[in-house]
Structure 1
Amino acid sequence: MSDPMRVRATESGGVVDVKILMKHDMETGQRKDASGKAIPAWFISTVTAKANGKDVFKGEFGPAVSKDPFLNFKYKGAKGDKITVSWVDNKGGKRTDEATAS
């Protein structure tokens, strides 16, 4: 399993601001290693965020997204919301992490 995501969520005026740093190499499939052999594509393909079990963000990534992607979004919510962020990569790897809105 990959390194944990850094998930921060802060509430202000009924709006929760969520910031996520995902640790992933995000290979495009176009780079070559030292011997000249192509490095296979390996990237996050889907990202989902839920607040108290309800979807608040869904997205699809591709090979053009940089290494260790950063994602920021807002939704209407409250302090204490439990935010669960999950991603799946194109090789079937998965990661899920949680945070609480403060």
Structure 2
Amino acid sequence: MTRALVSVPETAKKGEIVDIRAMIAHPMETGYRMGPNGVEIPRRIITRLTCTYGGEEVFAAEFFPAMSANPFVSFSLVAAESGTVSFAWTDDEGRTETASAEIVVS
């Protein structure tokens, strides 16, 4: 299980452009390193990250082995209505995890 820190403004005015940030605590093992016993450490990276707001996908990214551990993403969106900004990410093992934050639009 991984952890995520999601940063969304608590409040915004309708039509305001807001910054959304997320950092996911994930080791992002490339699969190119050898362990202490001389056996290759299996690849385990986040392969896809999506963000939805108001039920619509507003951001998506595909990650590859060159991505650093604990990836940080940042993007902007227009605050249209109060609701949940939800992130979902899937790793090589097929595990999907989520994190979310609320935004109040006035």
TM-score by shorter chain over 0.5: yes
Identity across the alignment (%): 32
Q: Counterpart in 1 of 2:30?
A: 28
Number of residue pairs the alignment of both structures matches: 101
Q: Counterpart in 1 of 2:92?
A: 90
Q: C-alpha displacement at 1:78, in angstroms?
A: 4.3
Q: C-alpha displacement at 1:79, in angstroms?
A: 6.6
Q: C-alpha displacement at 1:63, in angstroms?
A: 1.0
- Equivalent residue of 1:88, what SS? strand
Gaps of 5+ in 1: none
CA distance, structure 2, for counterparts of residue 16 and residue 7 of structure 1: 13
Q: Counterpart in 2 of 1:77?
A: 79
Q: TM-score, length-normalised on structure 1?
A: 0.89
Gaps of 5+ in 2: none
CA distance, structure 1, for counterparts of residue 100 and residue 52 of structure 2: 9
Q: TM-score, length-normalised on structure 2?
A: 0.86
- Equivalent residue of 1:101, what SS? strand
